[in-house]
Amino acid sequence: MSPHPSENRRILVVDDNEDIHDDFRRILAPRGDTSDLDELEAALLGGTSTATPRPPTFELTSAHQGSEALAKVQKALADGSPYALAFIDVRMPPGWDGVETLARIWQEDPRLQAVICSAYSDYSWEAMSARFGRTDRLLVLKKPFDPLEVRQMACALVDKWNHLARPSAPTSLALLPLSEDVVLLPLLGQVDPERLRQVREALVMGLSSRRARFAILDVTGVPGLGSELAEGLIGAARAVSLAGAELVLTGVGPEFVRALALLGGDLGGVKTHSTLQSGVAFALEKPR
């Protein structure tokens, strides 16, 4: 069955070995004749090469170091086209290893599904569980891997991402234009990681269709401004900045600002105001 045109088929492959990138392209994004892929699978699994129907192909992006992967994830979020899945090698000298890379990426995009590619002598599952906790977003692919296992993981995790991305109920996350330069996004009710992702996506997509200089995010209606919201707002601030605008955060007190600082979040030029009224006045009166 062919994927729906609107489905996200974007996969990020992170490995310092260019040959591995070539293998993933042959397995997940073959072009035209698939005889090379059939022969690769036959060589790894045994038997003879036979032409078989291929599963849906994917859109692959390559990164060769963890820092490069993080930058590409940030740009994808800013462009409103996030990755559904990342295959990440556990060893990528001289930079971050795969576990550190994934930890940093998940700070930016907690919805990303991930596969850590690991040899038996690398990180144990217990060590990864200690780092990430219990999560259903992570699988481990042992080396040497075979094409069938790679395809199964890609199909299952990309389908999972798209299933979770489908809204189960209407959400009120449309940006409200206050002027040519200012838009407002009021946030109401309980906040969880999925809600925070929707907030960031709404900000990026809304700003990309306008030329607004300021995005006001009002959290007056959010009960319990805790660390989870603080971490999400750090990501929102980065996304808004990459979209070429400034974030104005309203409805927060000094305690919440201190909580942001304790998390080590770099809010840069983000302005915070205790009331929506003062935040709107600041943005509307700011000269070009």
In a domain, 171, yes or no: no
Query: What's residue 170's pLDDT?
Result: 43
Q: Does residue 269 register a pLDDT over 90?
A: no
Query: What's residue 169's pLDDT?
Result: 45
In a domain, 3, yes or no: no
Beta strands in the chain (DSSP E): 10-14, 59-63, 85-89, 113-118, 138-142, 176-177, 182-188, 214-221, 246-250, 271-273
Q: Which of 84, 105, 248 is nearest to 158 (CA)?
A: 84
Helix (H, G, I), strand (E, B) or coil at 84: coil
123 or 146: which carries more pLDDT confidence? 146
Q: What is the mean pLDDT of residues 235-260?
A: 80
Q: Does residue 134 register a pLDDT over 90?
A: no
In a domain, 170, yes or no: no
Considering the domain architecture, whether residues 202 and 235 belong to the same structural domain is answered as yes
Considering the domain architecture, whether residues 192 and 70 belong to the same structural domain is answered as no
Q: In this structure, what CATH number is given to the domain that contains residue 130?
A: 3.40.50.2300
What is the token pair recorded at 161? 């991402």
* Structural domain for 267, as ranges: 176-285
- The C-alpha atoms of residue 242 and residue 107 are separated, in whole angstroms, by 16
Query: What's residue 22's pLDDT?
Result: 95
Considering the domain architecture, whether residues 208 and 236 belong to the same structural domain is answered as yes
129 or 120: which carries more pLDDT confidence? 129
pLDDT (tens digit per residue) in 62-99:
999 999 999 999 999 988 899 999 999 999 989 899 99
Considering the domain architecture, whether residues 96 and 181 belong to the same structural domain is answered as no
Percent of the chain with pLDDT over 90: 28
Q: Is 113 exposed, middle or buried (0-12, 13-18, 19+ CB in 10 A)?
A: buried
Average pLDDT, the chain: 81
DSSP state of 124: -
User: Per mean pLDDT, which of 117-121, 172-176, 240-244, 259-263 is the most reliable?
Assistant: 240-244
Considering the domain architecture, whether residues 111 and 225 belong to the same structural domain is answered as no
pLDDT (tens digit per residue) in 39-57:
665 666 665 555 555 556 8
Query: What's residue 186's pLDDT?
Result: 85
Q: In this structure, what CATH number is given to the domain that contains residue 241?
A: 3.30.750.24
Strand order in the sheet with 138-142: 59-63, 10-14, 85-89, 113-118, 138-142
Considering the domain architecture, whether residues 183 and 277 belong to the same structural domain is answered as yes
Considering the domain architecture, whether residues 198 and 127 belong to the same structural domain is answered as no
Domain boundary among 139, 165, 191: 165
Considering the domain architecture, whether residues 146 and 193 belong to the same structural domain is answered as no
Give the bridge partners for 225, in sequence order. none
15 or 278: which carries more pLDDT confidence? 15
- The C-alpha atoms of residue 149 and residue 257 are separated, in whole angstroms, by 46
Contact 86, 59 (CB under 8 A): no
- How many CB atoms neighbour CB 105 within 10 A? 23
At residue 220, what are phi and psi to the nearest 5 degrees?
-55, -35
Query: What's residue 46's pLDDT?
Result: 61
- The C-alpha atoms of residue 14 and residue 6 are separated, in whole angstroms, by 25
pLDDT (tens digit per residue) in 3-31:
555 789 999 999 999 999 999 999 999 87
Considering the domain architecture, whether residues 241 and 188 belong to the same structural domain is answered as yes
pLDDT (tens digit per residue) in 160-195:
898 878 765 444 577 788 888 888 888 877 777 778
Considering the domain architecture, whether residues 122 and 202 belong to the same structural domain is answered as no
In a domain, 205, yes or no: yes
- The C-alpha atoms of residue 205 and residue 80 are separated, in whole angstroms, by 6
Give the bridge partners for 248, in sequence order. 216, 271
Query: What's residue 38's pLDDT?
Result: 58
Q: What is the number of structural domains in the chain?
A: 2
Considering the domain architecture, whether residues 19 and 127 belong to the same structural domain is answered as yes
Considering the domain architecture, whether residues 96 and 30 belong to the same structural domain is answered as yes
Which residues have a Cβ under 8 Å from the Cβ of 174 and sit 6 or more positions away?
202, 206
- The C-alpha atoms of residue 97 and residue 99 are separated, in whole angstroms, by 6
- How many CB atoms neighbour CB 280 within 10 A? 20
User: Per mean pLDDT, which of 57-66, 134-143, 150-159, 168-177 is the most reliable?
Assistant: 57-66
Q: Does residue 277 register a pLDDT over 60?
A: yes
- The C-alpha atoms of residue 279 and residue 282 are separated, in whole angstroms, by 5
Q: Does residue 223 register a pLDDT over 80?
A: no
Give, for 224, the enclosing helix (H) or strand (E). none
- 263 pLDDT tier (thresholds 50, 70, 90): low
Query: What's residue 48's pLDDT?
Result: 57
